[in-house]
Structure 1
């Protein structure tokens, strides 16, 4: 498995491939299955290897990286919005300093919306599957919008389904929601301290229906916990006196300012910080315990192909809706030795030619069984150099080109040898041009002369 993906990303790709096959039908996966059988030990690891191979081939791994980039950008935008919103709450709470600050209006501005959404989150967590709320939905929407990749259509649903099996989405979205609110409240606290340090504010409370005793009890009840941490708590006389007008006293201003900061810290920042820590711990523990559920219908159908009780030949799946363009490549595994192989040669042709010492002859591939055996062998023991001999009198059909691509991905370096026709027989230049064009599209080096020197030594 590639080192650039985390276990969660691999499971995520498995789920995305499963959803894609449920929607569009089975994919062409013969090479993916062969690679998975060669490298994987149990069924779960083989399913992951297959999904990773298909995701690389079809672009879903690239789309996953684009989605993650979009998710990070969306998170950055929401973080900037949280910082600006928190600063705006503090400015709205204190005003410009020209008028006295109503302490309970200020407190409502700083904590009211936060407490309402916190209660909404708790209700959704207890009674609903939607534990993220509008903020999480906004982040998911922004992530998909910023990804801008057609292959990313199944990624967001696949991630939510994967996490939903163990209800991990509530902890992941909880980290997001509480983290953004914590950022907003810290921004509000910082702005509040800056304003209190640079402007002179007077504090009052005002009410037509409630009396002074009620405000005294409410203020002291809210200030009890902050007072335990050293924040100031206005006494009854100061609270009663502040009901008429803002006291022109430095001690009164300091007492009210300390009370307001303490209440914001204890009832706003501290709950969000604790919930963020709880969600983060449960998220990490849950992700560490995630595994592939091989009992799902989409995965159980792969058991016979990836972990067969006996090998069967022939076409097993219906033709895919969209054919895949053959691709060449090179093996990144440890390789050694040199191999010559031919594809569908005329039986009358003398084969093989005299080979240098150390070059292995893999024979002529004429059947599906020979193709499978050779590919399995090269997958287990990839050669450093591979030469594939082709008869350019035959047309370069899609099956031959797909085989060339598969063979090239099993060796560190590959060249195609376009054999000369027998003496006295002319070669169709148009057909030879088709071969050159097809091999150039595959990005495979080719020549009309025998590259046996390169096959023996690695250079011409």
Structure 2
């Protein structure tokens, strides 16, 4: 159940891919040798390999977890906006009807309930037609609030990546339109609910007042606004009722009920239904466009990956400059079952005889002393993972960053891994401080290590 809830959707995968691209544009290329190798092994078109590489890097560097935190923050931000919409709608209804101690001016009440809504609706429509940036202020506020709730520094590129991804299919206008119209729909529903509660529990009188105009314009306006609500079954005051409401406060219950029904019907037809229809339209267009979202492989950040992910031949030598900082390495182990035992040496000098006498069933993978030998072994282990892997290291060398990264990468290709810290060559001694550095580094990686040959473990799986 947890995997179902936290599983990445196709939109999440493209979103993370864009976030990784933006991160590399701002901070420089990431250490991606293992990710590129695994993406090549999984195969597929260039877009598939680019996405696989990005997901591996995002998972390694904590961006996948940051995405989940960001989405949780976005949900909290949306709940906060929905609460604001509910309170705003209730406030509009209370301001329009009052406490029942004084008669309600129907046209002032109608302006309070629909005026701001209609003005914002016209502004949204104008922005939609002219630039497609409708709802930008509310949308940016929602994104800002989402980041505040997420409180994850690794989510810095997520919001820009989402906007860049959606703009390619012009989906930003539809998703922001869905947000804006849904919030106004909730506000109108809240206003309607509070109005029904007030009209059901209090006695309101309705009037209209004017100093300059005659009664006929108000009668015509009332009848015109009541046409569509009347088709839905709402009552509409007749001309006599309208005229009487302009002279005095009518005491007839029938007149009060007609005005209340007319007011509810006008708010429903001109306030709630347009927002409902527009929200439905935006949701439909959003779902249509979401299925067509794709990566733009012509962008420089993706085009530069073509040779690394779909090479005609393997490149030699240094490909990229070293980044200023690298993520922490984690070893882990390969899920599933491998077979046999494998012994490999890491950067051993010629003074050390190699390989030692090996028991049956244990294979010697040689000594890794070049980039080509490392890549070749990793490719082989990716296809034929061993059940047990022992890595022999010379503790007289310092445990540098590259060696630790390789140890972690090798460990992820085997069912179980041990590191063999070799004894010093004849005539030399191992520095205690350096040996302690090895122990500390291997403990951080979570790798089992020792100074005795793990040959019995390689052969039998136990000591």
Question: Taking structure 1 as the reference length, what is the TM-score of the superposition?
Answer: 0.95
Partners of 1:221 and 1:40 in 2: CA distance: 66
TM-superposed deviation, 1:396: 1.7
The total of aligned residue pairs comes to 459
Q: Is the 8 A contact 2:344 2:392 kept in 1?
A: yes
Deviation, structure 1 residue 262: 0.8
- Find the aligned partners of 2:142 and 2:85 in 1 and give their Cα distance: 13
Residue-by-residue CA offset, 1:158-199 (whole Å, 9 max, x unaligned): 111110011001111111111111111111111110001111
CA contact (8 A) 2:134 2:177 kept: yes
- Secondary structure in 2 aligned to 1:63? helix
Offset from partner CA, 1:31-63 (integer Å, 9 cap, x none): 111111112311111111111122122222222
How many angstroms apart in 2 are the aligned matches of 1:181 and 1:357? 75
Q: How does 1:268-417 map to 2 (within 5 A)?
A: 268-332=271-335, 335-417=338-420
Could you tell which deviates more after superposition, 16-25 or 92-101?
16-25
Q: Deviations over 1:60-111 (max 9, x none)?
A: 2222222212111111111111111111111111000000111111111111
Q: Is the 8 A contact 1:333 1:382 kept in 2?
A: no
**Do structure 1's residue 138 and structure 2's residue 141 form an aligned pair?**
yes
- Equivalences for 1:21-420 in 2 at 5 Å? 21-332=24-335, 335-420=338-423
1:86–1:335: structure 2 CA closer, same or farther, 3 Å change rule?
A: farther
1:418 Cα deviation from its structure 2 partner: 1.1
Asked whether the equivalents of residues 351 and 425 of structure 2 are also in contact (C-alpha less than 8 Å), the reply is no
> Is 1:17 equivalent to 2:33 in the alignment?
no
CA distance in 2: counterparts of 1:160 and 1:369, whole angstroms: 41
Which of 47-56 and 81-90 deviates more? 47-56
Residues 391-400 or 69-78, more deviating: 391-400
Cα displacement string for residues 238-283 of structure 1 (whole angstroms, at most 9, x for unaligned residues): 1111112221111111111111111111111111111111111110
| Residue ranges of structure 1 left out of the alignment (5+ in a row) | none
Give the superposition deviation at 1:307. Answer: 0.7
Q: Which runs of 5+ in 2 are unaligned?
A: none
Aligned partners of 1:97 and 1:201 also within 8 Å: yes
When residues 234 and 335 of structure 1 are mapped into structure 2, their CA distance, relative to the original with a 3 A threshold, is farther
Structure 2: distance between partners of 1:131 and 1:357:
72
Indicate which of 437, 442, 448 corresponds to 1:439. 442
Does the Cα contact within 8 Å between 1:40 and 1:49 map onto a contact in 2?
no
> Quick one: structure 1 residues 413 and 61, their matched pair in 2 at CA, closer, same or farther if it must change by over 3 Å?
same
CA change 1:385–1:245 in 2 (3 A) is farther
TM-score (norm 2): 0.95
Task: Measure, in 2, the Cα distance between the counterparts of 1:173 and 1:450.
Answer: 63
Deviation at 1:457, TM superposition (A): 3.6
Change (3 A) 1:424 1:315: closer
Larger CA deviation: 299-308 vs 12-21: 12-21
- C-alpha RMSD of matched pairs (Å): 1.8
Give the C-alpha shift of residue 387 in structure 1: 1.3
Between the aligned partners of 1:208 and 1:331, the Cα distance in structure 2 is 85
Deviation digits for residues 273-306 of structure 1 (CA, Å, limit 9, x no counterpart): 1111111111011111111121112111110111
2:463 is equivalent to residue 452 of structure 1:
no
Distance 1:33 1:430 in 2: 36
Task: Name the CA shift for 1:396/1:202 in 2 (closer, same or farther; >3 Å).
Answer: same
SS of equivalent residue, structure 2 residue 226: helix
Instruction: Decide whether the 8 Å contact of 2:92 with 2:191 is kept in 1.
Output: yes
Cα separation, 2, equivalents of 1:317 and 1:134? 41
CA distance in 1 between partners of 2:450 and 2:402 (Å): 21
> 2:420 aligns to what SS in structure 1?
strand
The answer to whether the 8 A contact 2:343-2:363 is kept is yes
Q: For 1:266 and 1:168, how far apart are their aligned partners in 2?
A: 28
Cα distance in 1, alignment partners of residues 456 and 106 from structure 2: 89
